[in-house]
Every structure is written in structure tokens, then in C-alpha cells.
Amino acid sequence: MKLEVAQLHSPTMLREMAVAAIRTNKLSKNYGLGRGLFDLDLEVSPREVFGYLGPNGAGKTTTIRCLMGLIRPTGGAAHIFGLDCRRDSVAVKRKVGYLPGDIPQFGSLRGKEVVAYLAGMRGGADPKTVRSIAERFDLDLDRRFREYSTGNKRKLGILLAFMHQPELLILDEPTSGLDPLNQQEFYALLREARDGGAAAFLSSHILSEVEHICDRVGILRAGRLVNVAQLEDLHHIRAHRVELEFAPGTPVPESAIRSAAGVENVTADGQRVSCTVRGSFAPLFEAIRSAKVTDLVSTEPSLEEIFLSYYSETAPSPKALPQ
Amino acid sequence: MTAVALGLRLGRWGIAGFSVLAFVSSLIQAVGFYQLAGHTPAQRAAFAQSMTQLASQLTLILPPPTRLDTVGGYVEWRSFGGLAILFAVWALVSASGAARGDEERGLVESVLAGGLPRFAWIAARVTGFAAASFVAALASGLGLVAGAATGGESVGPGPILEVAVGLAALGLSCYSLTILMAQLTSARIATAAAGAVLLTLFLGNTLSRTFTWLASWRWLSPFHYYELNHPLASGGTFEGRATLTMVGIALLAAAAAAVLFESRDLGSAFLRWPARHRPVSYEPSLSLVWRIAVVRGLYERRVGLAMWAAGLAAVGGLFVSLTKTVIQPLLSIPALTHFFGGFVGGQLYTSFLGYFWLSFAQLLVAGFAIAQVASWSAEDSDGRLELMLSTPISRAAIVVERALVLALGALAVAAISEVAVLITSHYQAMDVSAQKVTEASLLLVPFALVFAAAGSVLAAWNPRAAVGLLGAFAFASYLVDEVSPIFKWPTWVQDFSAFKLFGMPLSSGIDRGGLAIMVAIILVGFGASILLMERRDVGA
């Protein structure tokens, strides 16, 4: 036990704890015509799961590729555990597990050969870890890559990112193509990695996904970081579209719904009412408590829709999130 | 119509590249004719006589010539004979890409989901290639027109149109046959299987000129019908029936391909082994080969390497077995006997092999290098390079590993073909210097690396255009070696050609100067590609 405490407080360990898992300073990648990434200042702590949200084309993948040293920033700098992402890219990648947005083609190689190939390039991976992850996702490693479905290719990508138990996971839309059961398995795997000491940076455009697993989120729009918020702050921008249907011949409590806190955009058409609920559902349920509801459908709008409603696309600067 | 346009758009670089190659090829041969053949009828008759004697011994590659005393006859033999092979290769690559490559990328799935019937997709791709090959063939005819103009002659539009139609029909029949083979086999071996069929049809036709027992089978080969056309030579003819037969082969093969395509699943072959039941495995491969740099690259390419080695060995053995048949008639010509005696210093068969076999081997090895560069480009466009670079391996290390894999692969291919040449020459009772053959075979490795170095620079600079540009570089390199002696270009210009730098190692020994330049090109090329790789964006 003493040895463990000594190790925990060794100078090296303390230094490791002090440096951010990811730190960017005015990181920019300008593709011209207003496209790219601009002046990104971001810090992700060790053991933190950071969600990176933004609509399509916002610059999420560009950020990730800059962090991985795959593309050259046109300005600023990015560091992973204090190492420069371009200059020290080999050392950086020893610490990182990466899942790209599009899984590459490996043609006729078998799953186990793809794993061995990339593990070989890393200097090896623990077969027990590989077996454990493959079992969790029920991924048959004896099949050829070209025979894999989209979901199985994504599972293989997850296995490749996690197999060497990296200190930092950089994941580009990791659950895209996974069915709900495997999504839950992925969330569990990510939590275990965090509990084991790893940090994670994952991009997504699914709000509910980052709510499941992230400690903090950064919201990107048109290449600029709009805000970085704690998880609970998301509830302020999160919205649901609700469709209510009341029993025929019964009164519709339209005015009560309109006056309920957090309920917006109310439209009524006979026995049907639709509205948007921001934050808690409690005021809406209170408003309809005495009415006879025959159907209630709640859907989560896409991130693009939330952005359109929460941030004015035409405004020069968006509204700040509540802190 | 939209599908035809899509096919043309996907193949636009091929159309542009092959049109330029075809134009330049005919232009240079036409201009070269006026340099070589003289200007008086007597000079041209003498030229035609000597060339006809030589041509009769080259029928393994080129068709028999007619009227070599005319620019049309000469270009028909020298340019359009070789273009037949070039168009067949183009058709092979395009058709296997259209049939299986686009399927792997999900393009075919998207198109079919849009409501296009399967037979219409095949028809659209075949129609698109028909238009593409006609454009490139016409460009070749225009090259002849331009070249003839430099000699003060003109070629009418009729023969130009006829030769273009014949060449396009050959390309089309090769395209449809490849599309058909691609339906039968898995995507993994589609190109190789179709290539084997086309090579068999080509050799079946050319070898039937030497081995009479093959003559009864030549009607199967579209190359046979192509050679029946002689529209460019004075007094030559355009065989409409032969051209229609080539078009008929194309239509029949395309129709059969459409039927097979209707009957198979997307992503699967028509001919499949029954699936074996086997338990699910979660075990990673523990094989050592994946852990060792370079070895993993060789192991992954083992099937391709084996096919290249077998192909080169088979063609080497074939050349050796034909050597005596070819050389004996040449020795009966007094002037050539004197020439050979002075030139080869007694090592007649060794020198002859050096000229014919090694010239062909160089082309094949250049093709091998281009195929490897194509796989580097594919790694980039498929996103595989992005994943490789997510591991703790530097970009420089990836370039170096690629170079070493290619060098060792080329060494294996060259060594196996050398063994085949030596064994065949032993059984043919030919006095061939084993040491010289070994040296010449080893020289094929730096030769391959010259193309690889150029390809590495191109793949690092612009991976999408790398294969096309490298193909153009190889063709230009070959042309420089071919036409430099005709136009008496200075030595430093000739040194731009890898074929010239390779020299004639079997008859003249290894050209140490040429080898030094090759090594310099390899070092500079790979060094430059490392610098380019370090600076470029990957996956953007």
C-alpha cells in the first residue's frame, strides 16, 4: 500500500496529473470560404469524458484530425498530455486510441488479421483485452472484413481503439451504425475506461448520447467553439417536441398548456395539440393533469433543429449558454 | 443516359490519359518513320525489306506487318500493334473497377437503389467505355495525321475512322469479357481471373503463328479479328465482318454478364463455394508475421506476389523456349550473322534473351511497381493510411516500409523468373551465362524501385492522380528509350529513361553509370516523398 501511495505521488505521476489530456491554443485550420476550424481554445482533463457536439460540417472531424496530427493546423497549437500533436506525433499516438468517423477498407483481411496488423504496428496488444471486447460486442474475428455489416465494421473500429488500453480515446461519432444494445455496451466500455484512468474526447451530433456518458460538452458551430458547458447545462438547451391527443368530446386545456413554464410553440388543431418542451416536463404534466389524454408522443429534435431554435443562425454571435 | 455520363465521369482521367498516350505514340512513330525510312522509293523499299524480316520474328508481341514502306503501314504495325495491348490493359482495369471496385465502394448499391435495373447498369458502363475507347482510338489516328503532316503526306479521314473503330471494338470486347469474368469470380480475384483470360486469348492468337496446332483456336480471340484489319496501309482493307465479330463478342459477353449480375447477390460472386459452418471466434491472430515490419506487408501481398512471380516466370520460360525458333531464321540472313557475331561476342543466346526477354521483363516489372503504387494510393483513399498513422509509427517509417516491401517483392519476382529462365534454357540446351542472368535479374530490383520512387512522390503529393501520372511517366520513359536513337537526342535526355538506365546487362554487362543514376533517383525520390508526406494532410 505504501508503495502504491509512493507511486501515486511520484514526480512523474504528479506531472502527468498536472498536464491536460488535451489542450489547444487558438487552434485553426482554414480551408477558405469560411470553412474549417477557427481559434479553438479547449482543455480536457485526465479522466474526463468530453463530448464534442456540433451539426454536420461544424468542424468536429477537422478538430480530431488536428489532434491526431493527420492534418496541419494553419494556426495555433494542440497538445496531448503536454506533447505537441505534430512535432511529437509518434509519442502522442502511444497514448491515444483512435476511432475514425469512416472505418477504412481492409478488403479480404479477416477481422483477427486486421487486429493483429494494427496491434503489430503498435508493438502489440493484450490478447485477453481483444478477446474480451470482441466477446462483449459479439464480433466474429474469423470473418473477412468485406463480409462485415456496417455495425460490425464499427465494432471492429471500437476494438482497435480500445485494445491497447490507451490513456486517451479520441472517437469520431463512435456509435454511428451501432444498434441500441451495442450502443449501451459501448457506453459501458467507455465508463470502464474512464474508471480505469483514461480520458475520452468524442464527437457526436446526438445530444442524448453525450448526456449518457460525458462529463462536459463543447458545442461547435461553423468552425467556432460556441460554448463549453457542464452536463446539467445541456438541459437548458435540450428540447422535446410533444404531440398530445385528447379524448373526443373532452375539453382541451390549451390555455394551461400555453402558460406552463418551458412550453413553447403551442399549436392546437381540434383535439390535437403540439408544443415544444424545454427543460422539465413537470409543468406540462401539471397543465394536463385533469384532462383525458389518449396519446402522447415525445420526440427529441436533431441537434441541427436545436441549434436553429436556440442559436440564431443569422445573429453575429450566439446566445451564451447559462453557466 | 445519366448512368452513362456517370461512367464517363468516373473514367475521365483514363480517357484523357489514354488519349494522350495513343496520340503521342502514333505521332512519334510517324515522325520516326521519316527519320528512318529515307525519302526515295528505293530507300523505303530497302527499309521495308529489313523491317519485314525483323517483324516476322516479333510476332509474339506484334501482328505481322503490311506495307512497311508507307507511313500508314509502319504506324499500323509499330503503334497500333502495341496499342492493342495497351487498350486491353485499360479495358481490364476499367471493367474490373466498374464491376467490382464500384460495388465494393457502395456506388453500385446506391445506383441500383435509385431504380436503375441491373442490366441497364451493365449496358451503361459498356456504352460508356465504348465511347471512351473510341475517343482514345481516334486520338491515336489523329497522331498519325499530325505525324504524316511533318513528312508532307496526308491520311484521309476514312482510314483514320476505320482504324479507330477497329481499336475501339477490340477494347470494348476486352472490357465486356472482363465484366463477364468479374460476375463469375469474387472481387478479390476478379482482375487476376479476367487478366488470365485476356492473356490466354492474346497468347493463343500470337502463339498460333508459331505453333500451328493452336491455329484452329484463334477464332476465339478478339485479337485475331483485330489483326485482320489493315486500313492504314496503302491498298489495305477494313474488314467489316471482323470488326462486327469483335462488337458481337462484346455484346454477347455483356449480355451474359447482365444475366449473371441479375442472378447473383451484390458483393458476392456467381460461382461460390458452399459456406462452411464454423463457430464464432473472438481470438486475435497470434501469427508473428503481423508483428514484424516489412514482413507483414509482404505477407499481406503474398497472393499478388505469387501471381506476379508465376506470370513473369511463365513468360520468361516461354521466351526462352521460343528463342531458338526465332534466332535460327535470323542467322540465315548474312548481314545479321555478321552483326550478331560482332555485337554479342559469342554469347549469342544470352544476348538475344537480354534483348527480347529482358525488354519484356522490364515492362512487366514496371507494371508490378505501378500496381504497388496503386495499392498505396488505395490505402490513402480508403482511409487505411489514416488508421495506420494513428499508431505510433512515423510517416517516414511508412514510406521506408513501403519501399522495402516493394524491393523484396521485386527481388522475389525477379529471382523466381530467373530460375524459370535458367531451367528452361538448360532443357533447351542453350548456352546461357547463369551469372549474367542473375546480375540482370537483380538489376530489375533497382529498376522497379525507380518507378516506385517516382510513384511514392506522386502518391505523397496527389494520391488520386498518382497511378495515372506514374503510368504516363512509365510510358514517357519507354518512349524516350525508343525514340532517342532515332532522333539522336543527347545522352542526358536519354538518362531520363529508366529503360535506358537499365541498359543491356546480358550482352554489355551492368552499366555502372546507369545503376548509379538509378540509385540516386531512388534515394532522392523516396527522400522527397518522405518530406512531402510529413507536410501533407491525410484524410482531409
CA distance A246 to chain B (A): 41
Query: Which residue of A69, A112, A124 is in closest CB contact with B285?
Result: A112
Average pLDDT for A70-99: 95
pLDDT reading at B447 higher than 70: yes
Summarised one tens digit per residue, pLDDT across range B309-326 is: 998 998 888 888 877 777
Q: Do A104 and B383 touch (CB under 8 A)?
A: yes
pLDDT reading at A311 higher than 50: yes
Residue of B nearest to A115 (CA): B284
CB A162 within 8 A of CB A133: yes
B275 vs A: CB within 8 A: no
Pick B508 or B244 by higher pLDDT.
B244
Confidence of residue A85 (pLDDT cuts 50, 70, 90): very high
Q: Which residues of B touch A160 (CB under 8 A)?
A: 387
Instruction: Give the per-residue pLDDT at A210.
Output: 80
Helices B348-381 and B395-427, axial angle in degrees (round to 10) = 150
Average pLDDT for A136-161: 94
Summarised one tens digit per residue, pLDDT across range B229-255 is: 999 987 778 899 999 999 999 999 999
Q: Which residues of B touch A64 (CB under 8 A)?
A: none
User: In this predicted structure, which of A10-19, B366-375, B486-495 has the lowest mean pLDDT?
Assistant: A10-19
CB pairs under 8 A between A and B: 120
User: In this predicted structure, which of A232-236, A246-250, B35-39, B89-93 has the lowest mean pLDDT?
Assistant: A232-236
Q: Do A90 and B392 touch (CB under 8 A)?
A: yes
Q: Do B284 and A130 touch (CB under 8 A)?
A: yes
Instruction: Give the per-residue pLDDT at A205.
Output: 77
Mean pLDDT, all residues of chain B: 88
pLDDT reading at B119 higher than 90: yes
Helix (H, G, I), strand (E, B) or coil at A1: coil
CA distance B90 to chain A (A): 23
B265 vs A: CB within 8 A: no
CA distance A299 to chain B (A): 29
Specify which residues A227 forms β-bridges with. Answer: A219
Average pLDDT for B122-151: 94
SS3 assignment for A290-309: CCCEEEEEEECCCHHHHHHH
pLDDT reading at B453 higher than 70: yes
B106 vs A: CB within 8 A: no
Q: Do A127 and B286 touch (CB under 8 A)?
A: yes
**Mutation test of the interface with chain B: which of A70, A144, A171, choosing the one with the most B Cβ atoms within 10 A?**
A70
Pick B488 or B453 by higher pLDDT.
B453
**Mutation test of the interface with chain A: which of B287, B391, B393, choosing the one with the most A Cβ atoms within 10 A?**
B391
pLDDT reading at A186 higher than 70: yes
Q: Do B291 and A120 touch (CB under 8 A)?
A: yes
What DSSP assignment string belongs to B427-457? Answer: HTT----HHHHHHHHHHHHHHHHHHHHHHHH
Confidence of residue A166 (pLDDT cuts 50, 70, 90): very high
Instruction: Give the per-residue pLDDT at A19.
Output: 86
CA distance B416 to chain A (A): 26
Mean pLDDT, all residues of chain A: 86
pLDDT reading at B345 higher than 70: no
Q: Which residues of B touch A154 (CB under 8 A)?
A: none
Q: Which residues of B touch A105 (CB under 8 A)?
A: 104, 378, 382-384
pLDDT reading at B352 higher than 90: no
Summarised one tens digit per residue, pLDDT across range A276-288 is: 888 789 999 999 9
Instruction: Give the per-residue pLDDT at B7.
Output: 79
Q: Do A116 and B538 touch (CB under 8 A)?
A: no
Which three three-digit cell numbers place residue A69? 496530427
Average pLDDT for A41-70: 92
B281 vs A: CB within 8 A: yes
Q: Do B283 and A116 touch (CB under 8 A)?
A: no
Q: Which residues of B touch A35 (CB under 8 A)?
A: none
Query: Which residue of B282, B386, B387 is in closest CB contact with A131?
Result: B282
Confidence of residue B51 (pLDDT cuts 50, 70, 90): confident
Q: Do A96 and B382 touch (CB under 8 A)?
A: no
**Mutation test of the interface with chain A: which of B189, B273, B278, B282, choosing the one with the most A Cβ atoms within 10 A?**
B282
Which three three-digit cell numbers place residue B199? 492473356
Among A40, A48, A5, A47, residue whose Cα is nearest residue A23: A40
Question: Residues of chain A with pLDDT > 70: what percent?
Answer: 85
CA distance B283 to chain A (A): 6
* Sheet of strand A263-269: strand arrangement: A263-269, A272-278, A239-246, A293-299
pLDDT reading at A112 higher than 90: yes
Confidence of residue B126 (pLDDT cuts 50, 70, 90): very high
Beta-sheet pairing, A263-269 with A216-221:
unpaired
Decide: residue B149, CB within 10 A, 0-12 exposed, 13-18 middle, 19+ buried.
middle
Considering only residues 151 to 190 of chain B, which have any Cβ-Cβ distance to chain A shorter than 8 Å?
187-188
B193's CB contacts (< 8 A; 6+ apart) are B181, B184, B185
Which three three-digit cell numbers place residue B335? 548481314
User: In this predicted structure, which of A41-50, A300-309, B261-270, B355-364 has the lowest mean pLDDT?
Assistant: A300-309
Residue of A nearest to B283 (CA): A131
Instruction: Give the per-residue pLDDT at B299.
Output: 94
Instruction: Give the per-residue pLDDT at A201.
Output: 97
Instruction: Give the per-residue pLDDT at B165.
Output: 96
Q: For A32-45, give one letter per residue: b (16+ CB within 10 A) or e.
A: eeeebbbebebbbe
Q: Do B540 and A71 touch (CB under 8 A)?
A: yes
CA distance B537 to chain A (A): 4
Q: What is the CA radius of gyration of chain B?
A: 24
Question: Residues of chain B with pLDDT > 70: what percent?
Answer: 95
Pick B298 or B322 by higher pLDDT.
B298
Q: Do B537 and A127 touch (CB under 8 A)?
A: no
Query: Which residue of A93, A120, A130 is in closest CB contact with B290?
Result: A120
pLDDT reading at B207 higher than 90: no
B92's CB contacts (< 8 A; 6+ apart) are B174, B178, B191, B194, B195, B198
Summarised one tens digit per residue, pLDDT across range B463-479 is: 888 888 888 888 888 88
Pick B382 or B530 by higher pLDDT.
B530
Average pLDDT for B388-412: 96
Instruction: Give the per-residue pLDDT at B335.
Output: 60
Residue of B nearest to A110 (CA): B285
Query: Which residue of A103, A107, A113 is in closest CB contact with B290?
Result: A113
Q: Which residues of A touch B104 (CB under 8 A)?
A: 105, 107, 146
Confidence of residue B334 (pLDDT cuts 50, 70, 90): low
B540 vs A: CB within 8 A: yes
Q: Which residues of A touch B537 (CB under 8 A)?
A: 65, 70-72
pLDDT reading at A13 higher than 50: no
Q: Which residues of B touch A125 (CB under 8 A)?
A: 284
* Spatial distance between the Cα atoms of B227 and A274, rounded to a whole number of angstroms: 76
What DSSP assignment string belongs to B13-52? Answer: HHHHHHHHHHHHHHHHHHHHHHHHS-SSHHHHHHHHHHHH
Average pLDDT for B166-184: 96
Beta-sheet pairing, A168-172 with A199-204:
parallel
* Spatial distance between the Cα atoms of A32 and A15, rounded to a whole number of angstroms: 39
* Spatial distance between the Cα atoms of B385 and A106, rounded to a whole number of angstroms: 11
pLDDT reading at B171 higher than 50: yes
- Predicted interface score ipTM higher than 0.95: no
Residue of B nearest to A31 (CA): B540
Considering only residues 360 to 389 of chain B, which have any Cβ-Cβ distance to chain A shorter than 8 Å?
378, 382-384, 386-389
B418's CB contacts (< 8 A; 6+ apart) are B316, B437, B438, B441
Q: How far is CA B25 from the centre of its chain?
A: 15
For A80, phi and psi rounded to 5 degrees? -120, 120
Summarised one tens digit per residue, pLDDT across range A27-38 is: 999 998 889 999
Instruction: Give the per-residue pLDDT at B399.
Output: 97
Residue of A nearest to B266 (CA): A147
Furthest-apart CA atoms within chain A: distance in Å = 75
Average pLDDT for B282-296: 92
Helix spans in B264-333 (H): 295-300, 302-331
Give how far Cα A149 sits from Cα of A98, A139, A247, B111, B267, Å: 20, 11, 45, 19, 12
The amino acid present at B438, given as its one-letter code, is: T
Q: Do B284 and A98 touch (CB under 8 A)?
A: no
